[in-house]
Chain A
Amino acid sequence: MDKFEPKIITFACNWCTSAGADLAGTSRMEYLPNSINIRVMCSSRVDPQHILWAFRKGADGVFLGGCHPGDCHYIDGNYKTLRRIKMLQKLIQDFGIEPDRLRLEWVSAAEGKKFVEVINEFTEHVRKLGPLNIPADLSSHEAS
Chain B
Amino acid sequence: MNMKRTGVFVCHCGINIAGTVDVKKVAAEAAAQDSVAVAEDYIYMCSDPGQKKIQEAIREHNLESVVVACCSPTLHETTFRNACKAAGINPFQCEIANIREQCSWVHKDKAEATKKAIKITKSIVEKAKRNESLVPLSVPVTKKALVIGGGIAGIQAALDIANGGHPVILVEKNPSIGGHMIQLSETYPTLDCSQCIMTPKMVEVSKHPNIRLMTYSEVKEISGYVGNFKVKILKKPTYVDPGVCTLCDDCTDICPVVVENDFDLGLTGRKAIYIPFPQAIPATYTLDDVNCPGLLPIACGKCADVCKPGAINYDMKPEIVEEEIGAVIVATGYDLYDMYNMAEYGFGKIPDVVNGLQFERLLSASGPTMGEVLRPSDHKVPKEIVFIQCSGSRDPELHNAYCSKICCMYTAKHAMLYKHKVHDGQPYIFYIDIRSGGKNYEEFVQRATEEDDVIYLRGKVSRVFQDNGVIKVWGVDTLTGKNIEIDADMVVLAMAMRPAVGVQDVLKILKIATDKDGFLAEAHPKLRPLESVTAGMYLAGASQAPKDIPEAVAQASGAASKVLALFSADELMHEPIVATVDEDVCSACKLCIPLCPYNARIYDVEKDIVIVNEILCEGCGSCVAACPSSASQQRNFTDDQIFAMVDTILEGE
Contacts and interface: CB of A to CB of B under 8 A. Distances in A.
Interface of A: 7, 9, 15, 18-19, 21-26, 28-31, 33, 36-42, 44-50, 53-54, 57-59, 70-77, 80, 84, 108-110, 116
A49 B646 CA distance: 12
Contacts of B120: 36-37
B622 A26 contact: no
B190 to A, nearest CB: 37
A44 B622 contact: yes
Nearest to A50: B642
A41 B102 contact: no
Contacts of B624: 45, 47
A47 B632 CA distance: 12
Contact of A41 (B98, B112, B621): B621
A112 to B, nearest CB: 9
Interface string B611-653: 0000000111110111000100010010100110111011000
Nearest to A28: B105
A73 B113 CA distance: 31
Contacts of A71: 511, 513
19 contacts: A9-B646, A9-B649, A23-B101, A25-B101, A33-B116, A36-B649, A37-B98, A37-B120, A38-B123, A40-B642, A41-B619, A44-B622, A45-B625, A48-B625, A53-B643, A70-B508, A73-B534, A108-B513, A109-B533
Contacts of A22: 72, 74, 98, 101-102
Contacts of A75: 511, 597
B577 interface: yes
Interface of B: 72-74, 98, 100-103, 105-109, 112-113, 115-116, 119-120, 123, 508, 511, 513, 515-516, 521, 533-534, 577, 595, 597, 618-622, 624-626, 630, 634, 637, 639, 642-643, 645-647, 649-650
Contacts of B577: 41
Which of B102, B534, B618 has the most C-beta atoms of chain A within 10 angstroms of its own C-beta?
Answer: B102
B620 A45 contact: yes
Contact of A77 (B100, B620, B650): B620
Contacts of A19: 74
A30 B101 CA distance: 11
Contacts, number: 133
Contacts of B100: 25
A75 B634 CA distance: 18
B106 A45 contact: no
Given A40-B637, A41-B620, 6 more contacts: A25-B101, A25-B105, A47-B624, A71-B511, A76-B597, A84-B625
Contacts of A40: 621, 637, 642
Given A22-B74, A22-B101, A40-B637, A29 B650 contact: no
Given A45-B637, A76-B597, A110-B515, A30 B625 contact: no
A54 B649 CA distance: 9
A48 B628 CA distance: 11
Nearest to A19: B74
Contacts of B515: 110
A116 B116 CA distance: 16
A22 B104 CA distance: 11
Top 4 closest pairs, chain A to chain B, by CB = A45-B621, A25-B101, A74-B620, A44-B622
Contact of B625 (A9, A46, A58): A46
A58 B115 CA distance: 17
B119 A36 contact: yes
Given A19-B74, A25-B106, A37-B102, A73 B533 contact: yes
Nearest to B101: A25
A25 to B, nearest CB: 3
A29 B622 contact: no
Contacts of B643: 50, 53
A24 B513 CA distance: 19
Which of B123, B516, B577, B650 has the most C-beta atoms of chain A within 10 angstroms of its own C-beta?
Answer: B650
B646 A57 contact: yes
A86 to B, nearest CB: 15
Contacts of A46: 625
A40 B639 CA distance: 11
Contacts of B650: 7, 9, 54, 57-59
Contacts of A25: 72, 100-103, 105-106
B646 A53 contact: yes
A33 B625 contact: no
Given A9-B646, A38-B123, A53-B646, A45 B634 contact: yes
Given A22-B74, A22-B101, A36 B116 contact: yes
B625 A44 contact: yes
A45 to B, nearest CB: 3
Nearest to A8: B649
Nearest to A58: B650
A18 B116 CA distance: 16
B649 A38 contact: yes
B519 to A, nearest CB: 12
Contact of A57 (B74, B626, B647): B647
Contact of A30 (B107, B597, B639, B647): B107
Given A45-B637, A49-B639, A108-B513, A24 B106 contact: yes
A36 B103 CA distance: 9
Contacts of B109: 33
Nearest to A71: B513
Contacts of B625: 44-48, 80, 84
B228 to A, nearest CB: 16
Contacts of A38: 123, 642, 645-646, 649
A44 B620 contact: yes
Contacts of B101: 21-26
A54 B639 CA distance: 12
Contact of B595 (A31, A54, A80, A110): A80
Contacts of A80: 595, 622, 625-626
A38 B638 CA distance: 13
A72 B618 CA distance: 13
Contacts of B646: 9, 38, 50, 53-54, 57, 59
Contacts of B98: 22, 37, 39
